[in-house]
Amino acid sequence: MLSRTAESLFWMARYIERAEATARLIEMGRRMAMLPGAYGQEEWRSVVAAAGAGAAFGPDDRVGEAEVCRSLILDEDNPSSIRACLDRARNNARAVRTALTADMWEGLNEGWRWLGGVEAETVRRDLPATLDRIRSLSALFRGAAQTSMLRGERYDFLSAGAFLERADMTLRLLDAKYFVLLPETGLLLDNRDRYRWISLLHATSAVRAFHYVYRGDFDPSKIAHFMILNAEFPCSLAFCYGGLRAALIRLANRYGARHDCHATVEKAVRQLQDREMDDIFDEGLHEFLLETLRLNAQLSSELSRAYHF
Amino acid sequence: MFDEMTGDGHGLRAPYKDIAAWIEASGLDTLHRHTAEAEAVFRRIGITFAVYGEGGDPERLIPFDLIPRVFAADEWRRLERGIRQRALALNAFLQDIYHRGEILRAGIVPERLVYRNAAFEPAMIGVDPPGRVYSHVVGIDIVRTGEREFQVLEDNCRTPSGVSYMLENRETMMRTCPELFRSGNVEPVDVYPEELRRTLEEVAPPACSGDPVIALLTPGPFNSAYYEHSFLADLMGIELVEPQDLFVDEGLCWMRTTQGPQRVDVLYRRIDDAFLDPLSFRPDSMLGVPGLFDVYRAGGVTLCSAPGSGIADDKEVYVYVPEMIRFYLGQEPILQNVPTWRCSNDEERAYVLERLDELVVKEVHGSGGYGMLIGPHSTAAERAEFAEKIRRDPETYIAQPTLELSSSPSLGEAGIAGRHVDFRPYCLIGRTIRLVPGGLTRVALREGSLVVNSSQGGGVKDTWVLAE
């Protein structure tokens, strides 16, 4: 396969996941801002920071729902916006039209066209519906890939990109919660903070799944365990690394060659298996998140080097 | 004026019997609804067309007209013979002028026209392309002016585009109006990609043993025909490559893949000569694959079409195609040329300047309907401007009579009305000649307009060849 094709597939998958991740982040901000006693602007600032779009707002700018939605959903000039992500996803898709099935292309193209025509007013009037539509767009694309794409090298690059980006999303969601958590109050969590932890579950559509696995209370350390170490939850870091590892192993078997990225992902998977949530909290959640985000960036560049893109 | 459905405007020509009944039975509302459905299909799959230098929607649709254009079996038989004959003669001409130049020595085609033509590629002199084929896909633009009068408006020997519309128009028609195809009387066109792949395989270079690896070379997603490039690559199951994906090493052409370099034997290139190889053609160009031409010349890779093929579709060279058919094939041309006056010739120029109000004036090297004067539709100021241009630069212009192109029933806001059409079949030349029964019908959707180019508001139609 052309290296350029592999590159485009990898990044297309990343941008589509990123669009979804940003929608989930906004959903989380919306929930946090609605909590009794919420600071409002602080919650939204944390969303902006977690989306990597901190530069879009100055320290004196008003950062409320309307501003954040305009910037993170529709603003083409903000490279972190959902519209910008879908633009890039579609450009990548256009460059590798032949590597996509018609179902995948049509799903993406239709979503791109829809978002292109959405007005700020529509978003303001019905934010939840807009966010739902963005999430269903990536779900549709994933579903199309799942049911229509040959399980060959193209699929492997696509899923490598998707898993890597989803791992990023989970880390960012956790980080967004972290930003408003400051100052850390140790184990004496007030109700508001507990609700923020729960909004993480809402943002990943995982409330029911959490109950099913953990029963009982919304305990922050259980929620963190669910999002980081639980290998059955498709948004968890452990699950995403597992998926990335599987995709890379398939490529190694296909091509008969292993590279740096293989060693790195193996090590990352092993380390998570040995981790306890308490250790992570002891070392500092924020530091863990930052370190893992750096690891993701390393994986991404090792992977592109290995396959000549 | 000849109408494809009614002939003289009153009757009903036999090939259109089913169409007329279908129009009658459907009613305008249903036809409009089908058109909307068809456009939704086009937009969803992303068949769009970018027009350079125009604002607005960068990925707009070419309007699709729902009512097919139909050829009877016997009409097609004659067209087919004429098309094959012309495609053969054009290739023979290219082979000749890049070798001994017999037709020039015989005084049939002026040397000046060939050797001083920008489209003539000196680097091709003495090169023997596999199978002696230069132009592997010849698109011949044909217009009709009467029941039996077909004329060739121009030839396209480089990289004619539009064949994806032939395929998608049919696919869309079969999806939105399946009842029309129930009689099973329409010849299928969907074998085209397979026929093209076979054609390309047949011209594999001498250096290729085993199964040739074919790739389609595109300038990239910003080219107006990119959709077609990806569509064809997909249907042929070959890689769609950009110049940056290719490089030359050890006398062969390679593409960069996830597993390192892989060899390419045949390039169906949809990129202009000038951007093929900066070492050979355009030193200032950043585009292209350095060294590609040397590999081609040494038989390491085949370029389809061959560099320098464009000279055969030059609008002035066109005048001599009937002579080429006589000279190389010893046959009488089956399809006629449109009478053409060359402004480079003093007498002919004087004739043209006197009759600007009735002629069509075209740039010799122009394409896409740009830089054209349609006499009967022009203003005095436009004619004065063109007269000045012709006097200043006579070799740049030719003139032809304003043809009464046939009209074909088309669906407009107000109902069904005749609109002018032309026709482009795609003839494939490898070790054998292949021609899929059909082609692209372009239609000038503006009332009275004679310009069918998509860049000028033209649309497209499904084109049927009826089975015997």
Contacts of B227 in chain A (CB under 8 A): 97
Omega before B305 within 30 of 0, i.e. cis:
yes
The verdict on B246 touching A (C-beta cutoff 8 Å) is: no
Contacts of A97 in chain B (CB under 8 A): 46, 227, 230-231, 234, 240
User: What residues form DSSP beta bridges with B214?
Assistant: B266
> Structural domain boundaries of chain A?
3-306
User: How far is residue A11's CA from residue B420's CA, in Å, rounded to a whole number?
Assistant: 46
- Whether the CB-CB separation of B462 and B173 falls below 8 Å is answered with yes
- Whether the CB-CB separation of A218 and A198 falls below 8 Å is answered with yes
CA distance A88 to chain B (A): 13
Strand residue runs (E) in A139-297: none
- Whether the CB-CB separation of A30 and A62 falls below 8 Å is answered with no
Closest-CA residue to B240 (of B269, B263, B262): B269
In tens, the pLDDT along A116-150 reads: 999 989 998 999 999 999 999 999 999 999 999 99
- Whether the CB-CB separation of B153 and B13 falls below 8 Å is answered with no
Give pLDDT, residue B52: 42
Q: Which fold has domain B339-402?
A: Dna Ligase; domain 1 (3.30.1490)
Closest-CA residue to B75 (of B14, B3, B153, B155): B14
Q: Which region among A36-45, A264-273, B100-109 has the lowest average model confidence (pLDDT)?
A: A36-45
- Residue A184: pLDDT over 50: no
User: How far is residue B420's CA from residue A97's CA, in Å, rounded to a whole number?
Assistant: 34
Q: Packing angle between helix A41-50 and helix A153-181, nearest 10 degrees?
A: 150
- Whether the CB-CB separation of A23 and A80 falls below 8 Å is answered with no
Q: Packing angle between helix B163-176 and helix B226-236, nearest 10 degrees?
A: 80
Structure tokens at A256: 């008969």
Phi/psi at B61 (nearest 5 deg)?
A: -85, 150
- CA-based nearest residue in chain A for residue B41: A106
User: How far is residue B329's CA from residue B433's CA, in Å, rounded to a whole number?
Assistant: 15
**Size of the A and B interface in Cβ pairs below 8 Å:** 62
Phi/psi at A230 (nearest 5 deg)?
A: -75, 115
User: How far is residue B406's CA from residue B419's CA, in Å, rounded to a whole number?
Assistant: 8
Q: Do B244 and A4 touch (CB under 8 A)?
A: yes
> Structural domain boundaries of chain B?
14-338+403-465, 339-402
In tens, the pLDDT along B182-220 reads: 888 999 999 999 999 999 999 999 989 899 999 999 998
In tens, the pLDDT along B127-160 reads: 999 999 999 999 999 999 999 999 999 999 999 9
Give pLDDT, residue A36: 73
User: How far is residue B62's CA from residue B459's CA, in Å, rounded to a whole number?
Assistant: 6
User: How far is residue A154's CA from residue A223's CA, in Å, rounded to a whole number?
Assistant: 34
Contacts of B43 in chain A (CB under 8 A): 113
User: How far is residue A208's CA from residue A219's CA, in Å, rounded to a whole number?
Assistant: 14
User: How far is residue B382's CA from residue A212's CA, in Å, rounded to a whole number?
Assistant: 79
Closest-CA residue to B269 (of B243, B291, B245): B243
User: How far is residue B250's CA from residue B264's CA, in Å, rounded to a whole number?
Assistant: 13
In tens, the pLDDT along B3-55 reads: 999 998 789 999 999 999 999 999 999 999 999 999 888 877 666 655 443 34
Q: Span A258-262, mean pLDDT?
A: 97
Give pLDDT, residue B59: 61
Residue with tokens 């009614």: B6
User: How far is residue B334's CA from residue B150's CA, in Å, rounded to a whole number?
Assistant: 9
User: How far is residue B38's CA from residue B45's CA, in Å, rounded to a whole number?
Assistant: 11
CA distance A14 to chain B (A): 19
Helix (H), strand (E) counts: chain A: 15, 0
CA distance B230 to chain A (A): 6
User: How far is residue B228's CA from residue B27's CA, in Å, rounded to a whole number?
Assistant: 33
Sheet with B359-363, edge to edge strand ranges: B341-342, B397-401, B359-363, B373-374
Q: Which residues contact B57 (CB under 8 A, 6 or more apart)?
A: none
User: How far is residue B443's CA from residue B196's CA, in Å, rounded to a whole number?
Assistant: 26
CA distance A94 to chain B (A): 6
Map residue B178 onto helix, strand or coil: helix
- Residue A188: pLDDT over 50: no
Neighbouring C-alpha atoms within 13 Å toward the C-beta of B251 = 8
Phi/psi at B458 (nearest 5 deg)?
A: -80, 160
Q: Which residues contact B63 (CB under 8 A, 6 or more apart)?
A: B445, B458, B459, B460
Alpha-helical segments (H) within A149-190: 153-181
| Residue A52 banded pLDDT, cuts 50, 70, 90 | confident
Q: Which region among A38-52, A56-70, B63-77, B120-134 has the lowest average model confidence (pLDDT)?
A: A38-52
Q: Nearest by CB to A95, which of B221, B231, B256? A: B221
Q: Nearest by CB to A98, which of B230, B245, B256? A: B230
Contacts of B225 in chain A (CB under 8 A): none
Residue with tokens 């389609």: B216
Q: Span B245-272, mean pLDDT?
A: 95
Q: Nearest by CB to B234, which of A4, A97, A157? A: A97
Give pLDDT, residue A221: 87
CA distance A222 to chain B (A): 41
User: How far is residue A73's CA from residue A65's CA, in Å, rounded to a whole number?
Assistant: 11
- Whether the CB-CB separation of A16 and A162 falls below 8 Å is answered with yes
Closest-CA residue to B61 (of B77, B39, B85, B82): B39
- Residue A252: pLDDT over 90: yes
Which letter does DSSP use for residue A61 in this model? S
User: How far is residue A309's CA from residue A261's CA, in Å, rounded to a whole number?
Assistant: 14
| Residue A28 banded pLDDT, cuts 50, 70, 90 | confident
Residues 25-54 of B with CB under 8 A from A: 43-46
Omega before A183 within 30 of 0, i.e. cis:
yes
The verdict on B259 touching A (C-beta cutoff 8 Å) is: yes
Greater confidence (A155 vs A46) lies with: A155
Q: Do B258 and A308 touch (CB under 8 A)?
A: yes
Burial class (CB in 10 A: 0-12, 13-18, 19+), A58: exposed
The verdict on B58 touching A (C-beta cutoff 8 Å) is: no
Mean pLDDT taken over chain B: 91
Contacts of A5 in chain B (CB under 8 A): 239
Q: Nearest by CB to A98, which of B234, B258, B260? A: B234
User: What residues form DSSP beta bridges with B109?
Assistant: none
Alpha-helical segments (H) within B407-456: none
The verdict on B230 touching A (C-beta cutoff 8 Å) is: yes
CA distance A267 to chain B (A): 24
- Whether the CB-CB separation of A307 and A3 falls below 8 Å is answered with yes
Q: Do B244 and A110 touch (CB under 8 A)?
A: no
Contacts of B42 in chain A (CB under 8 A): none
The CA radius of gyration of chain B, in Å to the nearest whole number, is 22
In tens, the pLDDT along A199-209 reads: 889 888 898 99
The verdict on B412 touching A (C-beta cutoff 8 Å) is: no
| Residue B468 banded pLDDT, cuts 50, 70, 90 | confident
- Residue B110: pLDDT over 90: yes
Most A-contacting residue of B59, B60, B168, B258 (CB-CB within 10 A), to test interface: B258
User: What residues form DSSP beta bridges with B434?
Assistant: B428
Q: Do A98 and B260 touch (CB under 8 A)?
A: no
Q: For CA atoms B192, B443, B272, B343, give the dihedral sign.
A: positive
In tens, the pLDDT along B323-371 reads: 999 999 999 999 999 999 999 889 999 999 999 999 999 888 765 566 7
Q: For CA atoms A182, A186, A187, A190, give the dihedral sign.
A: negative
- CA-based nearest residue in chain A for residue B59: A113
Contacts of B259 in chain A (CB under 8 A): 1, 255, 257
Q: Do B239 and A4 touch (CB under 8 A)?
A: no
- Residue A185: pLDDT over 70: no
Q: Span B222-235, mean pLDDT?
A: 88
Name the pairing type of β-strands B137-144 and B150-156.
antiparallel
Q: Which region among A95-99, A140-144, B81-85 has the lowest average model confidence (pLDDT)?
A: A95-99
CA distance B299 to chain A (A): 24
